[in-house]
Structure 1
Amino acid sequence: MTINIEYESETKLDIPYKEIITAAIEESMDYEGCPYEAEVNVLITDNEDIRQINKEFRNIDSPTDVLSFPMVDYESPSNFDHLEDMTNDYFSPETGELLLGDIVISVDKVMEQAEKYGHSETREMAFLVAHSMLHLFGYDHMEEDERLVMEQKQEEILSRRGYVR
């Protein structure tokens, strides 16, 4: 598995963010039963930069906590059956890994939301990564039933690694 993490914020988190991100990605992969080695790119930035990315890609001119950019089109969430037929589209020619996508996290929001929700920055970082990984697996939360499915999966992924409130 390849996890590329770029930290592009002057605001520093006092947590082992690389370990947390890696653990949340690995647990999400295991939980969803991904049968492939995969590549995930994570960018940690600040509110201003994520605001600009949010504006460019979603036409929303405000900062957000996390953005997900899936590379795979699923017939249904976490349905990996058709991917082998599309190796040129979804797999790295260099490594053979499934190119899941990109995650962008605002370090400012990690800190703000940890305080707001009364849990640790560690738990907030793990939550945002697990949430985003579910998006990379094709889940969404636009409808109430989808939201409930994602919330349950997020909590189960986090609890399996001990990231509880």
Structure 2
Amino acid sequence: MSIIIENEYEGEINIPYEKIAHEVIEAAIDYVDCPYECEVNLMLTDNETIHAINKEQREIDRPTDVLSFPMAEYEEPADFSKIEEDPMAFDPESGEFLLGDIVISMDKVWEQAENYGHSREREYAFLIAHSMLHLFGYDHMEEEERKDMEKRQEEILTKTKYTRDERGLV
């Protein structure tokens, strides 16, 4: 598995962000029982940069906490049955399944952790779990999808112990 972390954030990151990313990404891949070795790209940035990406890619003119850019299309979330039919789904050199890209605003991590009353580690882990589910085709546009995705996020966070009552305490 390849987890490529690009830290473009100019502020101080005083959490073990690489360790958390690896734990949560691996847990999410295991959670959906992905049969492939995977590659995930994670970029850490600030509100200004994520605002520009959000405006360019989604035509939404404001910063957001996390953006997900899945490389694969699924008939159903986490349905890997047709992935091998897409020749662009795998890195030709490593053979790894190219899951996609995650962009996180660390400014939002700090802000939301304070607003929600939990640790920065928990907020960062939550955003990664949320984004990983998007990379596997889950969404939250409808109420039932939202409930399902929330349940799955919490299960991943419980597995990694990034909950409000364990490593998530302030």
TM-score, structure 2 as length reference: 0.95
Determine if the alignment matches structure 1 residue 6 to structure 2 residue 6: yes
Matched position secondary structure for 1:49: helix
Corresponding residue for 1:60? 60
Deviation at 1:85, TM superposition (A): 2.3
Q: Which residue of 1 aligns with 2:37?
A: 37
CA deviation vs aligned residue, 1:28-68 (integer Å, no higher than 9, x gap): 00001000000000000000000000000010110000000
Structure 2 letter corresponding to 1:144: E
Deviation readout 1:4-34 (Å, 9 max, x if unpaired):
0011011122100000011110000000100
For 1:98 and 1:155, locate their aligned partners in 2 and report how far apart those are by CA, in whole Å: 25
Matched, 1:154 2:158: no
* Aligned-residue CA RMSD (Å): 0.6
Q: Does 1:142 align with 2:141?
A: yes
Per the normalisation by structure 1, the TM-score is 0.98
Q: Helix, strand or coil: the match of 2:130?
A: helix
Q: CA deviation at 1:132?
A: 0.2
Amino acid in the other structure paired with 2:162:
Y
Give the Cα–Cα distance (whole angstroms) in 2 for the partners of residues 101 and 118 of structure 1.
30
Number of residue pairs the alignment of both structures matches = 164
Q: Secondary structure at the match of 2:34?
A: coil
